[in-house]
Amino acid sequence: CGIHAREWISTAFCQWFVKEALSTYGSDSEMTGLLNQMDVYVLPVFNIDGYDFTHKSAKGGGSNCILGRSTGSSSNPCSDTFCGYSPESEIEVKNVADFIRRNKSSIKAYLTIHSYSQLLLFPYSYTFELAEHHSELMTVAEGASKALRSLYGTQYTSGPGAATIYPAAGGSDDWAYDLGVKYSYTFELRDTGRYGFLLPESQIKPTCEETMLAVKYITSHVQKNLY
């Protein structure tokens, strides 16, 4: 969470996930089963200096290196989509990428949380070519979106990134998938543009609650398909 500095709801959800994991373990069967069977690594604020900057700047801008693109858009250092000077040029990206590479044989899912647009995306974004596991990834995404919608009626669109929105190179879900992590998904949380990145406080809790249902749906499927 928090790869992109101005996507504040992303970091809020990851902190919510940790709170729910700790407070419902032992009473919620899904969460208990997940934590008993799998290790879950949560990175609440990936781009911590950028996150801090956006809270202190007047407009909440994100004009630093866009870490989600440092894994592989613009070469202009002043651009909001500056990809860095080379692949993995930023220490945050390098450290996370090294961790995933070291543990790729045991990592079964990779979820990256962003905002906004109400989308649940999966590979590929850098090409219109369908992923090898496209059918399964789509089925899981649609099921997760349905679970999310069941709470507040929030409508999500699911599909491969390139075909669902637009082609974009350097996404970490594409990178993780090509490394061998089959269940690689990108969430684009609320809303669809009325508030954009500046989601009002009143929508933080409902966004976290509904997103938790989608994440649980995905992890439940992963648990049943570990090998």
Catalytic residues, by residue number, are 188
Candidates 90, 118, 131, 110; CA nearest to 184 is: 110
Report the 10 Å Cβ neighbour count for 221: 16
CA atoms of 218 and 156, how far apart (whole Å): 15
Q: Which of helix, strand or coil describes residue 180? A: coil
**CA 43, 46, 119 angle in degrees (round to 5)?**
85
Taking each helix axis from N to C end, the angle separating 29-37 and 8-24, rounded to the nearest 10 degrees, works out to: 90
Q: If you search the block for the tokens 């860095």, which residue do you land on?
A: 84
Question: Which single residue is written with the structure tokens 């799998």?
Answer: 38
